[in-house]
Amino acid sequence: MDKVNVQTKLNSNSCTGCGLCTVICPTDAIELSFDKRLSNVRTVDNNKCISCNKCVKSCPQIVYSELNEPVACYASFPILEQRNQKYSSGGAASLIAKRFIQKHKGVVCGCTWDGKNRCAKHIVITEIDQLEKLCGSKYVQSDISGIYEDIKRYIDCKTEVLFIGTPCQVDAVAKYCKSEYLYTIDLICHGTPPASYLSDYIKTLPNYKEIKDIRFRGEHDFWFTAKNDQNNEIYCEYKDCDPYFHAFLKGTIYRENCYNCRYAQLKRVADITLGDFWELERNALTYLGNISLILMNTTKGQKVVDESADLMIMEQRKIKEAIKGNLQLSAPMKRTLEQLEFTKMMEVHGDFISAFKKNAVYKEAIRNKRIMSFNMKKHKLKIFLENIGIIRGDS
């Protein structure tokens, strides 16, 4: 008789790699391993499995959680005193987290970059001056495997916790820590590449061993920036010219489950949803910087946002305006021919870099880089010739 567990009940293409089943299992029969596309998915040792069904009952992709319709939609940006170049969008996540620590005497759990292991992972922040570790988009799947027990320990001590992550991560954490002390923020997610893709790609960059921090947004918005431990830039490339960044924005290299994501809709799993407010009709807001989109989905979410309202300039907007600029509020990312070809090459090579370099999106980014380099040299030559009087400024 077949044993009942997440391996028999859940197709690996639907697994989000949240790792909740590995924490729930009482016999340590489940671990995360890699499929042909190097996504981490659940694997069950049937010799250890006792068919207790706990993994099946806790899996967010088998037992669906109730989702909430947003009750209010806001556009926001920081007041002058709170502005920070490191914010990815309008800084709403950082400002809400700051006030949460102040008002609730709570802790914040979010994603940081682990420079030593070259990976994104979730950590717990207890002090406001540590919140900067969570700034900046990572654009890769973060490791939350060690965070479940940490959050539960705080909740057991009646310490309030604010968890910030992708919708599938929020759902997993909420299933494990069902508590009034848990507050959640989900980020509007395009999709996440497997962790190994970014770490393997970084190894192809110049002086990669010196890289301690990376950013895709913030100070240099939409430039892939890598810094050493002295905070000096050692790599900086525009989104259309960096192959990894370009492929991410094109939706070429996401996990398999991302293309069928059930969270890519208006109904949300978290108390609050945050993202960039693209396509905002700026007929009232005059701020020229990035603007955050805030969706309040529950009364708990409304309370937390209201507590931080003095740190932001906020304006209520129509929800349909938010959907217009964020397609993942209505549907998951669609597959492209390049994505299908990449998947095929991954299954052939089993190696990200080998498969990636054969992809049209990779080649397109390299071509964009050459064109940009040529245009910059041409521009510098023009300025030089103008300065020495060979050509006129309007030539």
Provide Rg for the chain, Cα atoms.
22
Residue 271 is given by DSSP the state S
Residue found by looking up tokens 């549907």 in the block: 331
pLDDT, residue 38, reads 84
pLDDT, residue 276, reads 92
pLDDT by 10s per residue, the chain, length 395: 467 778 888 888 899 999 999 999 999 999 999 888 888 888 999 999 999 999 999 999 999 999 999 999 999 988 876 665 555 566 899 999 999 999 999 999 999 999 999 999 999 999 999 999 998 889 999 999 889 999 999 999 999 999 999 999 999 999 999 999 999 999 999 999 999 999 999 999 999 999 999 999 877 789 999 999 999 999 999 999 999 999 999 999 999 999 999 999 999 999 999 999 988 876 656 666 788 999 999 999 999 999 999 999 999 999 999 999 899 999 999 999 999 999 999 999 889 999 999 999 999 999 999 998 888 887 777 777 777 778 776 65
Three-class SS state of 394: coil
Kindly tell me the number of DSSP H helices and DSSP E strands found in the chain: 13, 13
Three-class SS state of 22: helix
Sequence-distant (6+) residues with CB within 8 A of 232 are none
Burial of 297 (0-12, 13-18, 19+ CB in 10 A): buried
Sequence-distant (6+) residues with CB within 8 A of 202 are 118, 208, 211, 214, 226
**Amino acid identity of 381?**
L
Residue 98 is given by DSSP the state H
**Residues 99, 307: Cα–Cα separation, whole Å:** 7
- Could you tell me whether strands 312-316 and 223-227 are parallel, antiparallel, or unpaired per DSSP bridges? unpaired
Sequence-distant (6+) residues with CB within 8 A of 363 are none
Sequence-distant (6+) residues with CB within 8 A of 63 are 56, 57
pLDDT, residue 284, reads 57
Which token pair is 245?
A: 């960044």
Report yes or no: 23 and 149 within 8 Å, Cβ to Cβ: yes
**Residues 53, 49: Cα–Cα separation, whole Å:** 9
Report yes or no: 131 and 94 within 8 Å, Cβ to Cβ: yes
- Sheet with 107-114, strands from edge to edge, namely 119-125, 107-114, 161-165, 182-187, 272-276, 292-296, 72-78, 312-316
Residue found by looking up tokens 């790599």 in the block: 235
pLDDT, residue 258, reads 97
pLDDT, residue 387, reads 79
pLDDT, residue 394, reads 63
Which token pair is 311?
A: 């740190």
Which token pair is 108?
A: 């914040």
Q: So where are the chain's domains?
A: 6-58, 72-329
**Residues 291, 277: Cα–Cα separation, whole Å:** 6
C-alpha separations of 18 from 82, 145, 255, 304, 330 in Å: 33, 7, 12, 26, 23
Report yes or no: 120 and 114 within 8 Å, Cβ to Cβ: yes
Q: How far is CA 156 from the centre of its chain?
A: 28
Q: How far is CA 84 from the centre of its chain?
A: 19
Q: How far is CA 368 from the centre of its chain?
A: 25
Q: In degrees, to the nearest 5, what angle opens at C-alpha 296 toward C-alphas 158 and 288?
A: 120
Q: In the chain, how long is the greatest CA-to-CA distance? A: 87
Q: Is the domain defined by 6-58 classed in CATH 3.30.450.20?
A: no
